[in-house]
């Protein structure tokens, strides 16, 4: 990887308070990895026009790929359909990353937007991608989760 390459990152992982509950989810492995790299922090839900804090939302009827294909929805706990905000914000975030030449993104696992390997669908944590992750993958980005990065760094520490 070129040292000049710009990495995209879920904003909540680096201390930005953009989660539904108004908090962040800082991951030391991510901040360590980015400490000497260029990066752009994005929150697709905020870029889609949703507030901080906001009502928690989850995938209904399928994962982010199904949402992107029009076969599933994103609905918050007040029964408001926020699918358009999730998809629209993901596209805004991806446009920003593409304009800066980014091809790699670090994402927050389990989120209905950013989850890469697992997310909540119909109230259950199951294998599947969030909406942002699904569209990023479709656009050809390389994705790594905060959990994978932490495991990788733990492995490196164990072998020292």
Q: Spell out, one character per residue from 75 to 114, where the chain touches ligand SF4: x when CB under 6 A holds, - when not.
A: ---------------------------------x--x-xx
Answer yes or no: are the C-beta atoms of 3 and 101 closer than 8 Å.
no
CB of 102 to ligand SF4, least distance (A): 15
Structure tokens at 62: 């399928």
Place of tokens 């569209």: 135
Extended beta strands in the chain, E state: 6-10, 38-42, 57-60, 73-76, 104-107, 118-121, 124-127, 142-145
Stretch touching ligand SF4 by CB under 6 A, among 26-34, 43-51, 56-64, 150-158? 43-51
CB of 151 to ligand SF4, least distance (A): 18
Binding residues for ligand SF4, rule: CB under 6 A, are: 10-12, 18-19, 43-45, 108, 111, 113-114
């Amino acid at each position: 990887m070129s040292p000049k390459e710009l990495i995209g990152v879920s904003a909540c992982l680096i201390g930005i308070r953009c989660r539904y509950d108004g908090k962040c989810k800082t991951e030391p492995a991510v901040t360590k990895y980015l400490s000497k790299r260029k990066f752009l922090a994005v929150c697709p839900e905020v870029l889609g026009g949703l507030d901080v804090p906001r009502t928690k939302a989850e995938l209904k009827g399928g994962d982010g790929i199904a949402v992107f294909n029009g076969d599933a929805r994103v609905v918050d706990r007040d029964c408001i359909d926020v699918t358009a905000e999730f998809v629209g914000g993901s596209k805004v975030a991806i446009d920003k990353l593409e304009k800066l030449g980014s091809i790699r993104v670090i994402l927050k696992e389990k989120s209905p937007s950013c989850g890469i390997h697992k997310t909540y669908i119909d109230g259950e944590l199951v294998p599947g991608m969030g909406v942002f992750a699904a569209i990023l993958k479709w656009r050809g980005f390389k994705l790594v989760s905060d959990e994978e990065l932490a495991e990788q760094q733990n492995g490196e520490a164990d072998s020292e």
